[in-house]
Amino acid sequence: MSSILITGANRGIGLELTRCFAERDWRVFACCRDPQGADALAALASGQKTVHVHRLDVTDPAQINALARELKDQPLDILFNNAGVKGPSPQGFGDTDVEAYLQTFRVNTLAPLKMAEAFVERVAASERKILATMGTIMGSLAENASGGYYAYRASKAAVHMEVRGMASDLAGKGIISVVFHPGWVRTRMGGDSAPVSVEESAAGLTRLLLRLTPKDNGRFYDYRGVELPW
């Protein structure tokens, strides 16, 4: 049975990705900070027996390592670093709050790398060998012509760079490292005026994940499969 581990699976795009893969009979390791409060995920897991809920705050390396030990015999076809935060508000020039900025980096930048380090051999042991990380067009240097959102943009630009590094470092293991922009999506982060629904975004990402090949290693795609500039 194919398997995927998703962080931040209790709401938003992560929850919908969990649903998409569970409906395809994948084994889904759905991770969230607070399983007790994750009602929608618990409801999904009670109807779909292939969904396994795990507690994971991605900023806690001890929790990451404990989960990696728990899953030490489990190949992971896809490791999906989805969890993310927008960071402090406001984030204009002149607003920089150092601790809040660092916290944004802990979630958006450090956690995906720590997850990859902890689970790399589980991904390498799988059939598809995909290391997927949620970036954003707002982290594209080429596309930033409007400024603002310093902590969010910088944390995502940095995670994009990490994925480029892993695309080189892990290619020898056959791992396909990719970054995704999910669209501007109606979630708690994206807000009500976002044009893309979680269903549309997650369905697009799922289609894309299922057709990735080694030629996609080190690339940056939106949820429709359009390649984006770094």
Ligand X SMILES: NC(=O)c1ccc[n+]([C@@H]2O[C@H](COP(=O)([O-])OP(=O)(O)OC[C@H]3O[C@@H](n4cnc5c(N)ncnc54)[C@H](OP(=O)(O)O)[C@@H]3O)[C@@H](O)[C@H]2O)c1
Which is nearer to ligand X, 2 or 82 (by Cβ)?
82
* Shortest spacing between CB 154 and ligand X, in angstroms: 13
* Shortest spacing between CB 64 and ligand X, in angstroms: 10
Which is nearer to ligand X, 36 or 213 (by Cβ)?
36
Which is nearer to ligand X, 65 or 173 (by Cβ)?
65
* Shortest spacing between CB 120 and ligand X, in angstroms: 19
C-beta separation of 177 from 170 below 8 A: yes
**Distance of alpha carbon 24 from alpha carbon 73, whole angstroms:** 22
C-beta separation of 198 from 9 below 8 A: no
**Binding positions for ligand X, rule: CB under 6 A:** 7-8, 10-14, 32-34, 57-59, 82-85, 107, 134, 136, 181-182, 184-185, 187-190, 194
Which is nearer to ligand X, 106 or 164 (by Cβ)?
106
* Shortest spacing between CB 127 and ligand X, in angstroms: 25
**Distance of alpha carbon 17 from alpha carbon 41, whole angstroms:** 11
Phi-psi region of 14 (alpha: psi -120 to 50; beta: other; left: phi over 0): alpha
Which residues are 227's β-sheet partners?
Answer: 221
Q: How many CA atoms lie within 13 A of 52 on its CB side?
A: 13
**Distance of alpha carbon 135 from alpha carbon 105, whole angstroms:** 13
Torsion of CA 98, 134, 111, 62, to 10 degrees: 140
* Shortest spacing between CB 221 and ligand X, in angstroms: 13
* Shortest spacing between CB 222 and ligand X, in angstroms: 9
Which is nearer to ligand X, 107 or 228 (by Cβ)?
107
Which is nearer to ligand X, 193 or 213 (by Cβ)?
193
**Distance of alpha carbon 71 from alpha carbon 3, whole angstroms:** 11
